[in-house]
Every structure is written in C-alpha cells, then in structure tokens.
Amino acid sequence: MEITNVTEYEAIAKQKLPKMVYDYYASGAEDQWTLQENRNAFSRILFRPRILIDVSKIDMTTTVLGFKLSMPIMIAPTAMQKMAHPEGEYATARAASAAGTIMTLSSWATSSVEEVASTGPGIRFFQLYVYKDRNVVAQLVRRAERAGFKAIALTVDTPRLGRREADIKNRFTLPPFLTLKNFEGLDLGKMDRDVQWLQSITSLPILVKGVLTAEDARIAIQAGAAGIIVSNHGARQLDYVPATIMALEEVVKAAQGRVPVFLDGGVRRGTDVFKALALGASGIFIGRPVVFSLAAEGEAGVRKVLQMLREEFELTMALSGCRSIKEITRNHIVTDWDQPQSRLAPRL
C-alpha cells in the first residue's frame, strides 16, 4: 500500500511496535481529551483563499534564529527513538539534514549529542530539562555546544511527569540504559530564574518550550528567551489544557514581535502548517509523525513525512494565493472563535 499522508504511518507503527512502545509514543495524559483536541482544533479553522494571483513560483524558505531553512517545518524532541527503529535518532538526524530543516534532540534520546553530530552536517537544537543538579545540566549544555548544536529548547511544563494511564497499565519500563530517575526530586524552580541561569553558562539562544499563556510568554521574554514554543507536551502532561493551535494567538499577541513563536502539537497536514503560520507562528515542530514513520520505514519514512508535509504546505500556499511565507496572514483564515456567534456554525 502506498503511503499518501502522514497519519497512515501511525496504523503501520501500531502493527509493528510492541504494544508497550506504541502506547508510550501514542498516548496522552488521563482522559486524553487534549490529545484529541490538538488535532480537532485545526478542523475549526477554515481558509479564505485568494485567487487570480500568479502562484507559479512558491518560496517556502524561512529563517529560524538566523538559520535558513527550506521550510517552516521542523522536528520536535521525542524520547528514545531507538525503541521505534534500531537507527533511532541517527536516521532522524539524517532525514532532517536532507530536508534542509532542524532536528531537536531530546535529552532522553537513545543516541548522544556526539553520536548525532557524527551523522554529518545539519542544524540541530538540544532539548533540555532543568534538573536540581545544575552540574549535570552544565555538562549537557557544554557537550551540546561542542557537538555543534545551535540552540537549547528548555522544556518548562514538566515539574512532575503527567499521568499517562496506558504506561501505568503496560507497566512501561525503559531499556536498562535509560531511567526515569532523572525526574525523581526534580525541581524546575521558576522559569525566569532557569532561563537566566542557562544564559550565564551558554551563549546559545534559548527557546522556552511549553508556554500556553500570555502571562508566561511575557515572563519568558523578560527573562531573555530567544523564542517561544507553544506546546502542551504532546498532551502528555496536564489534560484539559487547550489545543496548542488555540493557545497560539494569545502567545503571539503577548510576544508583540519581540521573539519568534513556534508551535508543536497535532500537526499532520500541510494545511495545519499554513493555519499555524496564519495565526502568527514562525514555524512548527512535528513529534509523533517522526517516531511512527521511523517505526514503519526507518530513515526513508521520516524523509517521506517531511516531503509529504512540504508538498501539502506548498499546495496550500498556492491554492490560498500565497507566494512566500510573509504573504501568509490572518486574513487567509477564519476560526470558530473569531466571534461569539460562530460563522462556521450551521444556521438553525
């Protein structure tokens, strides 16, 4: 069967992976309401396409923290990728590099920063939790710097691990060389203090990942964050928080253009990418599509996911009358939260 869209990889991954591993990647917290909402909320945004525009040439290139990318579609940090495929993070790094985009390496990766760097050239960010032992963090940051990583994505929504009931039922255990002990006694402290401390030990730009409110966006910017990633941790932390696409505009407005705002969570189509950019995102990150395609087809699967999203996004731009990223505006979409009497609702 020929794969024609990103979501088809999930069914293949479910067949191929042990139940415990598939559930670990696929599940969300508690009732999994936010997990569903991350996807469903995109369907409540409709297009206002413009026509009679020459779209014979479409430019999808963009710049993130000064790095030129082929498209505003990047790879989010996902843990323990070798559970999906023996090549794990190596395959993902090569696929991202081939696509001309950024890979973010999880600090819970099953490959080290040095090993990922050894796969060849590429723009890579390093995701970091702040542990009570600051010496551990400092060592990780220095290793990432030496390995040529270009930014730190500081995850700030995990003072404690969310309740993922599938993992409880499956008695999920990590491979023997990995442990959840990193979370025992974890003290994230205050976000602003952590960002400022990180800035004192590294010159790398710091993206604050896990922001859902205007208040926290302002705190992150005041603390010196170089960018914000609107994220609910793939709906794996607090259930019944909004879908990231619904929280995005509030954060973008609070940022006031001072730093770029990115989004992760629920992106499965090029149309989703366009909608996020129309609401003010500078780019998006994908997580689960990477591990599912990795499980299905290894590096070739990740390459195909990036290519499919790229092609769908280009087509959406063309059919919406946008020739470049900067031409994508709020006027190209309408959401069901734009006004109290939704114009998307059926008339009774």
Catalytic residues: 233
Burial class (CB in 10 A: 0-12, 13-18, 19+), 36: middle
Render 1-28 in DSSP notation, one character per residue. Answer: ----STTHHHHHHHHHS-HHHHHHHH--
Determine how β-strand 261-264 pairs with β-strand 45-47: unpaired
**Cα 216–Cα 221–Cα 225 angle in degrees, nearest 5:** 110
Cβ–Cβ under 8 Å, residues 74 and 64: yes
d(CA 89, CA 77): 10
DSSP state of 85: -
Let me know: does 88 contact 82? Beta carbons within 8 Å: yes
Q: Which residue has the tokens 């003290």?
A: 187
- How many alpha carbons lie under 13 Å from residue 53 in its C-beta half-sphere? 15
CA dist 296 and 13 (Å) reads 5
Residues whose CB is less than 8 angstroms from the CB of residue 340 and which lie 6 or more positions away in sequence, other chains included: none
In sequence order, the 6+-apart residues with CB closer than 8 A to the CB of 265 are 38, 230, 231, 232, 234, 235, 243, 244, 245, 287
